[in-house]
Amino acid sequence: MVSTLVNGSEDHVESGGEWTKVRRKGRRHLNTHQHQHTTLSCSHGTVPRSNLRQPFLSVSDIESEHQRITDQWRASMCCRQLQQVVASRPSGPTITHAVCFGLGSFDPDDGSWESRRRAHVQLAAFLCMVEELQRSQPQPIRCLFQEPVFNSADKNFICSLGYKVVDSPEGFEQVGPSTLVFGIHLYKDVYAQAIDGHPPAIFVGTPREIWEECHGSDSLDWVKLKELDAQCDKVKFPEDGEYTTFSGTTIHWRRRGTV
């Protein structure tokens, strides 16, 4: 395990075979998950199901909490700065769909307020980006969510917003040159799968330089990330006030003519 200081907090990298993750000490354990799923029907699409745990919160509970947290975040400097960053970008590749990976549960097993807030804020930020991008897009941007820790209430909440929850690897398979990929503090393996086929138009996640810092003297053998890094202009994701929700996160904008 290698430790390094990133953005003022101690990070650890754990390596074991193909799995490597960046872990912030005392903060969120970067989440992502690879499980097998079956499906259940939903009025807005197909909802994957895998060993669904019994939810503690109802969909109505989640909706109410999401509205409250989103209203607070929408009034924050983080939201205003994100809107400005997206609006100030020159016209780039057309965005046809957006895939959100590893959002986290709105109803975690331990009931953690910090975890719930983080999931709601990340969802609000993802949808804020989509909203701003939609202003310059000729067709509606299709939104997909891939998060194996979702329980039935999580999934039905996302469906109630009019979006689709998909099973792994469908989210990865949907990534192409006209995709927004959004994944905060995820495992290296998930990022690798997300950008393995085609470089997305926009990638929001942990940047190459942080992975290299965390690896120390070890070589970061990650060709696709290096290729994406070379094709993109990068902007630091605005900080979420005193929270670490988006710490160490960068928006990668692929330049035109680089596919």
Neighbours of 74 (CB within 10 A): 13
Per-residue pLDDT at 28: 38
Q: Provide the pLDDT for residue 241.
A: 97
Instruction: Name the residue with higher pLDDT: 25 or 216.
Output: 216
Could you tell me the CATH number of the domain that includes residue 123? 3.40.50
Q: Is residue 160 part of a domain?
A: yes
pTM for the full predicted model? 0.80
Which tops the pLDDT comparison, 195 or 215?
195
Domain limits for position 93: 31-254
Whether residue 4 is contained in a domain is answered as no
For range 172-194, the mean pLDDT: 96
- Mean pLDDT of all residues in 203-229: 83
Distance CA 169, CA 129 (A): 24
Structural domains of the chain, count: 1
89 inside domain: yes
Q: Residue for token digits 């200081």?
A: 5
Q: How far apart are CA 179 and CA 207, in angstroms?
A: 18
